Amino acid sequence: MGPKATISEVGEEIVEEFNFFEDWMGRYEHLIDLGRSLSLIDNQYRTDDYRIRGCQAQVWLRASFQNGNIVFTADSDALITKGLVALLVRVLNNRKPIDVLNADLNFLDKIQMKEHLSPTRKNGLDAMIRQIRLYAVGFMQTSQAS
Amino acid sequence: MNTVLKTAHISFDGLDQEDVVDRIRADFPALSLTVNNHPLVYLDNAASSQKPIQVIERISRYYSTEHSNVHRGVHDLSQRATEYYESSRDIIRDFIGARSRTEIIFTKGTTDSINLVAQSFARPILNPGDEILVTHLEHHSNIVPWQLVCQQTGAELKVVAIHDDGSIDYDDFEQSLSERTRLIAIAHVSNSLGTIIPVKRIISDAHGLGIPVLVDGAQAVPHMQIDVSDLDVDFYCFSGHKMYGPTGIGILYGKEQFLEKMPPYQGGGDMIESVSFAGTTYNDLPHKFEAGTPNIAGAIGLGTAAEYMNQIGFEFISEYEAKLLERATDRLSQIEGLRFIGTAENKASVVSFLLRDSHPYDVATLLDKFGIAVRSGHHCTQPVMSRLGIPGTVRASFAFYNTMDEIDVLAESLQKSSRILFS
Ligand SMILES: Cc1ncc(COP(=O)(O)O)c(C=O)c1O
C-alpha cells in the first residue's frame, strides 16, 4: 500500500468523481448513494448526547482518538444531509487533529454542494463542522498533555 | 357587514380564468424570478405571500413624499400621514366587516395580537384553576402566549383533540368546555394541514355558555371573506404579510365592549391622554393599544393589500383556489408512495404530504433545485406533528396567482425527486 492520500487529495478525488455527472440530478443521486453506503453510527450513540440539532434534519456525530488519529462515525435522518456527512467523514476520518483543523473543504464548493453548509439551511451540517473542529482541538490538547 | 369597497372589481369581463390569473401575475414582480435556472414556482404562500406592485409602490410613495410621524404634528405632512394611516384602518374595518374603526388595532402581526389579548384581556381575569381552551392544531403562536399567561396566573391550558384527518373532534370540544373555561383560542384554518375549522359553530356554542372566543385568522384571511360581525367573534387576529401586504404589520380585531375594559398592553407615546408622575390617563380606543410610533408604512401598505384583494374579489379567490387544491390533490395522489397529511373535508388551498419514508428536508431541497419553493418541517405546529406521529411534512400552499401549470410542474418535479431519492 502506498502512502495515505492527503485530505486535499481525497477532496480532488471526490471532485473528479462528481465531475463524471452531467447534471445536478446525477450529482444528487450519487450523493444520496454515498449516504446510503455510510456505515451507520452505532445505535447506542444515536442519542441526544451525540445529536447535532439542525432543526430541519438531524445529524449524529461521534469521534474517538485512536493511535494519534481521530475516527469519526456519523449519521443523519435526511438522505442529502447523510450524503454530505459521508463526504466529510471520507475526507476527515483517521486524520491527525492538526490536519482536521487545517482541512480545506473547498471540494464541496467544486461539486456545487457548498450551499448546504450555510447555517440558514438548518440542516445541522454547519454545526457538525464546528463540532468536528471542537473534537480536533480537544484531542490535540489531550495528545499534547500526555 | 362589509360595505364600502364592494364595487371596486377589476374588470375581468370576457376573460377566462387563465387570462385573469395571467393579469394578476403581472402585478407580482417576484413571480418572474428565476431560481436555480428555473422559473420560480412559489408555493410557500402560507408562510408568506408575495407582494403586488400596488402595495410596493404605495409604500414607496409613502416614504418618498408622504412620510412624517402620525398623530402629533399640526404641519401638513403629518396631517397627511395621519390621514392615510387612519384611512387604512377604515379599509380594514370594512374588509373584515367590523362595526367600528375603534375595534381595529394595528399590531406587528398575528403573534403580537394574540400576546396582546393574552396579557391584556386574559391575565387580569384568570384565577388558579381557570381554563383556556385551544386545539391540537394550533400554531405555536396560539399556544405559547397562553402557556405564559397560565404560568403567570395558575390557570390551565386544555387541548381539544383532533381526528386523524386533521379535523377537530367536536365531541371532545363540547366535553372540554366547563364552567372554568374563560376563553377559547382557536385557529380558523390550520397552517400545517389546511383544515378549515367550523369557528362559527364553535363561537355560537361558546357564547351559549358565556365564553369569549379568539380566532387566529392568519391562514383564513388570505383565502376567504371574513365577516367578524357575522361570526360574532370576540377577537380576530391576522398578519399583513400572508395577505399580500407588508411584514411587521397585522391586526387585532376586538369587540369594543372588551377592548374598552382592557388595560393597555404597552406604555409609551400615542397611547396616553395625559402623563404625570401622579398617574397617567390613557388615550381612547384604538390608540390605547398602539404605543409608540407605529408601523405607518406597514399600515398603509396593508390597506392597499386589502383593497387589492377586494378588487380581485373573494368570489374569484375561493373558486379559483378550490380548483388549484383539487388539481393538486388529483395530480399528487398519482405519485407512488405519496401520502397526504391532513385530508379533512373542508380545506383551504394547502397540501401537506410525505413521499414514502423520505425526510421532508430532502424533498424540499430537491424541489428547490427545480425552482419550486415549498416548506418542510413541523411548520411551527409540533403538537399536531407528534399527534400524527410524524416529524414534519412537505407543504405546498397556493395563492390566487398560482397556475394549473405550476401544479403540474410540482407533480413532475416530485416524480423526478422520487427517482433521485429512491433509484
Ligand atoms: C395559523 C397561524 N397562526 C399564527 C401565525 C403567526 O403569524 P406571524 O408570524 O405573522 O405573527 C402563523 C404564521 O405562520 C400561522 O400560520
- The pLDDT tens digits for B330-344 are 999 999 999 999 999
- Expressed as residue numbers, the domain containing B277 is 58-310
Is the model's pLDDT at A144 over the cut of 90? no
C-alpha distances in Å from residue B170, one per residue of A1, B166, B214? 71, 12, 17
What span, in angstroms and rounded, lies between the C-alpha atoms of B294 and B49? 22
Cell output for B376: 418542510
- What's the pLDDT at B11? 62
Cell triple for B2: 362589509
Give the relative orientation of helices B314-333 and B404-422 as an angle to the nearest 10 degrees: 30
In a domain, B403, yes or no: yes
Q: What is the pLDDT of residue B309?
A: 98
Same domain, B291 and B410: no
Is B164 within the bounds of a domain? Answer: yes
Q: What is the pLDDT of residues B22-77, one digit of tens each?
A: 999 999 999 999 999 999 999 999 999 999 999 999 999 999 999 999 987 889 99
Question: Reading across the β-sheet that carries B338-340, which strands appear in turn?
Answer: B338-340, B350-355, B393-397, B375-377
Which residues in chain B touch residue A78, judged by CB atoms under 8 angstroms apart? 359, 361-362
- Residues B217 and B83 reside in one and the same domain: yes
* CA atoms of A125 and A52, how far apart (whole Å): 8
What confidence score (pLDDT) does residue B1 get? Answer: 46
Residue B5 has pLDDT above 60, yes or no: no
What CATH number does residue B350 fall under? 3.90.1150.10
In terms of domains, do B209 and B302 share one? Answer: yes
What pLDDT score does B68 carry? 93
**Residue A124, pLDDT score:** 80
B380 an active-site residue? yes
Provide the 3-class DSSP secondary structure of residue A123: coil
Q: Does the C-beta of B393 come closer than 6 Å to ligand 1?
A: no
| pLDDT score of B6 | 43
Does residue B78 share a domain with residue B66?
A: yes
Q: How far is the CA of B343 from the centre of ligand 1 (A)?
A: 21
Q: Are residues B123 and B185 in the same domain?
A: yes
B106 membership: H or E segment, kind and range: strand B104-107
pLDDT at position B243 is: 98
Domain finish residue from B310, B328, B346: B310
Backbone torsion region of residue A144, taken as left when φ is above 0, otherwise alpha when ψ lies between -120 and 50, otherwise beta: alpha
Span B206-213, average pLDDT = 98
The full set of domains in chain A, from first to last, is 7-145 (3.90.1010.10)
Q: What's the confidence (pLDDT) of residue A2?
A: 60
| Burial of A65 per CB tally in 10 Å (0-12, 13-18, 19+) | middle
Domain end call among B310, B344, B362: B310
Chain B environment of A25 (Cβ under 8 Å) = 369, 416, 420
Instruction: Give A77's contacts in chain B (Cβ within 8 Å).
Output: 359, 391
Mind listing the pLDDT tens digit for each residue in B394-420? 999 999 999 999 999 999 999 999 999
The amino acid at A113: M
Question: Cβ of A55 under 8 Å from any chain B Cβ?
Answer: yes
Q: Kindly provide the residue ranges of all beta strands, DSSP E only, lying in B212-309, ordered along the sequence.
A: 213-216, 235-239, 250-254, 272-276, 279-282
Q: Which residue has the cell 384565577?
A: B127
- Per-residue model confidence (pLDDT) at position B423: 82
Reported as a single tens digit per residue, the pLDDT across A3-17 is 789 999 999 999 999
Q: Which residues pair with B39 in a beta bridge?
A: B34
Q: Report helix, strand or coil for B183.
A: strand
B194 burial type by CB count under 10 A (0-12 exposed, 13-18 middle, 19+ buried): buried
Domains identified in chain B, total number: 2
- Whether residue A29 lies within 8 A of chain B, CB to CB, comes out as yes
Q: Which of B352, B378, B380 to mutate to test the pocket of ligand 1 (most atoms within 8 A of CB)?
A: B380
Which three-class secondary structure state does DSSP give residue B35? Answer: strand
User: What are the tens digits of pLDDT across the range B123-176?
Assistant: 999 999 999 999 999 999 999 999 999 999 999 999 999 999 999 999 999 999
Q: What is the mean pLDDT of residues A57-78?
A: 92
> In this model, does residue A142 exceed pLDDT 60?
yes
With 50 as the cut, is the pLDDT of residue B229 above it?
yes
Nearest to B322 by CA among B223, B412, B225: B223
Q: Which of B291, B310, B329 is the last residue of a domain?
A: B310
pLDDT at B299: 98
Cα B148–B153–B157 angle (5° rounding)? Answer: 60
Q: A29 vs B376: CB contact, 8 Å cut-off?
A: no
B325 and B281, same domain (yes or no): no
State whether B133 and B281 are in the same domain: yes
Instruction: Examine the domain organization and report whether B116 and B217 are in the same domain.
Output: yes
Helix intervals (H) in B31-165: 53-61, 76-95, 110-116, 123-125, 144-153
Mean pLDDT of B378-407: 95
Is the CB–ligand 1 distance for residue B304 below 6 Å? no
Mutate to test the pocket of ligand 1, among B45, B108, B110 (most ligand atoms within 8 A of CB): B110
Does B40 fall in a domain?
A: no
Nearest to A78 among B361, B416, B423 (CB): B361
Residue among B47, B144, B157, B380 flagged as catalytic: B380
Indicate if B306 and B329 belong to the same structural domain.
Answer: no
Are residues A87 and A109 in contact, defined by beta-carbon separation less than 8 angstroms?
A: no
Alpha helices in B143-272 (DSSP H): 144-153, 170-176, 199-208, 228-231, 256-261
Picking from B105, B188, B180, B181, the residue whose alpha carbon sits closest to that of residue B142 is B188
Mean pLDDT rounded to a whole number for chain A: 89
- Strand, coil or helix: what is B182? strand
- Do B324 and B404 touch, CB atoms closer than 8 A? yes
Average pLDDT, chain B: 95
Give the C-alpha separation, B184 to B199, whole Å.
11
Q: Which residues in chain A are closer than 8 Å to B392, comparing Cβ atoms?
A: 56
* pLDDT value of residue B235: 98
Residue at B12 is within a domain: no
Q: Are residues B194 and B270 in the same domain?
A: yes
Give me the pLDDT at residue A19, please.
Answer: 95
- Residue the block writes with cell 435522518: A77
Q: How many CB atoms lie within 10 A of CB B166?
A: 23
Q: Is B416 on the interface with A (CB under 8 A)?
A: yes
